[in-house]
Amino acid sequence: MRKIKKLWLGLGILGMLVLGLSWGQLAQAANTTKSNQANQIGFSVSAKIPDNQINQQNSFFDLKMNKGQSETLQTRIYNVTNQDIKIQTAIHTAYTNGNGAIEYVTPAKSFDESLTYKMTDLTKLQGAKTVTVPANSSKVVSAQVKMPDQDFNGVILGGWYFKRVDQKVTSSVKGSMNVKNQYSYVIGLKYTMGTVPAPSLKLSKVTVGMTNYHRGIFPYIRNTSAVIVPNLKMATTITNKNSGKVVKTAKKSDVQLAPNSVYRYPMLTGKTKLQAGNYHLKMVVKNSDHKWVFEKDFTITAKAAKTYNDKSVDNSGINVIWFVVFGALGMLIIVLLGLWLFFFIKKRRQNG
C-alpha cells in the first residue's frame, strides 16, 4: 500500500514539474508577442537625429548621404531599472524574410548577388559591442559611417540592434532546459544616395522544400534594385503541364521587399502531398505603382517529393497547439490527483 501511495505521490510531483515547464514555455511564447514590454525589458533606446535627416518626423536614421561621406551616429540607451545592466549592440544588413517582411533583427545567412554595399560594411560600432548602463541612468553609444567613394544611386538599409544580455533564467528545474525571455530593440538605418531607381523584380527559380518542417513550393522573387518595394499583392497559380489541371493557387498581400534582396515565398501545400511531375507557375505581383507578371516551368522530381513528404509534419494531422493544450490538461489532472492523494494520506496519518 505504501508503494502505491509513493507512486501516486511521485506522479503528482512529476506532473507539477512537467506542467510548470509546459506553461512556462507557453508563457514565454506569449510574452514575446506583447507590445507593452517596457517594464520587463528594463531599457529603451533613442536615436540622436543628425542634420542630414531626410524626414525629421522619423525616429530612425533616415539620412541623405554623399559618396565618400563620413559621419558619426549616436544612440542613447536608457536604463529604467535600479541596477546596472549590460546591453549588446550590433549592426545588421536588412533583407526580406520568409514572411514577406523586411528583417532587421536576425542577421542574414546569405545575400542576393545584386547587393553592392552591405550596411555592416559601411557602419562600424565604436568601442565595445557590449556596454554597461548604470542604474536609473543612460549612456550614449556611437557608430562610424563611411560611405563608398564611388557613385551610387539608391537606398542602403539596415538596423542598429540592442539586446539586454544580463537577464537571468526565469525558472530552473533539475534535469531540464532552463528558459529565459530575451527582449531587444532595433533602430532603422536608411542611407539614400543619388537618385533612387525604379524597382526591378525577377522570378529567378521555383523549387520545392520545407519551412518549419512544412512542405511547399517556393518561388524566389528577387528585388534587384536598391529601393524598398512596399505593399505588394501576389496572386499565384500552379498548373500541371500534362493534365492542364490547376493544382495550387495562393494569394498574399502586404509584402515588403528590402533593397537588393530575395524573397523565398512559401506556398505551403498542407495535407496535400507533393507529386512528381512537370508544372507551370504564373504569378502576378503588383502595388499601386507597379505590376509584374511572371511565368516559369519547373519540375518536381520523385526523389524530392518523397524526401519532403516523408519529413513533413503535415502528415501527422496533429495540431501542435492542441497537442500542447491537451498535454497540459493531462498534466493538470495528474497534479490534482497527486495533491489530493498527498493531503488524503497526510490527513489519515494525522487521524491514525
DSSP-derived pairing of the beta strands 214-223 and 261-264 = antiparallel
**In this structure, what C-alpha cell is assigned to residue 233?**
499583392
What pLDDT, on a 0 to 100 scale, did the predictor assign at position 273?
95
34-193 and 201-315 share one fold: yes
Type of residue found at 224: T
> pLDDT value at position 334?
79
**CB count in 10 Å sphere of residue 20:** 15
Give the tens place of pLDDT for each residue, 208-247: 999 999 999 999 999 999 999 999 999 999 999 999 999 9
Polymer length of the chain: 352
Which residue in the block uniquely carries the three cell numbers 528585388?
223
What pLDDT score was predicted for residue 84? Answer: 96
In contact, 161 and 89? CB cutoff 8 Å: yes
Res 219: pLDDT: 98
Spatial separation of the C-alpha atoms in residues 183 and 278, rounded to whole Å? 46
- Secondary element (H or E) of residue 193: strand 184-193
Domain ranges of the chain: 2-16+322-351, 34-193, 201-315
- The per-residue pLDDT for 344 is 64
**What CATH architecture applies to the domain 201-315?**
Sandwich (2.60)
- Enumerate residue ranges in the chain where pLDDT < 50: 1-38, 169-179, 319-320, 322-323
Homologous superfamily of domain range 34-193: Immunoglobulins (2.60.40.10)
Q: Which residues are CB-contacts of 131 (< 8 A; sequence separation ≥ 6)?
A: 77, 86, 87, 89, 139, 141
The whole-number pLDDT of residue 14 equals 38
- Model pTM? 0.76
From 297, 291, 111, select the one nearest 217 (Cα to Cα). Answer: 297
> What pLDDT shows up at residue 24?
36
C-alpha cell at 28: 514565454
What is the percent of the chain with per-residue pLDDT over 90, rounded to a whole number?
72
Residue with cell 501516486: 8
At residue 301, φ and ψ (nearest 5 deg) are: -80, 160
Residue 311: C-alpha distances to residues 50, 141, 167, 192, 314 (Å): 51, 46, 36, 44, 9
Closest CA to 18 of 339, 324, 320: 324
- Here the cell at position 224 is 534587384
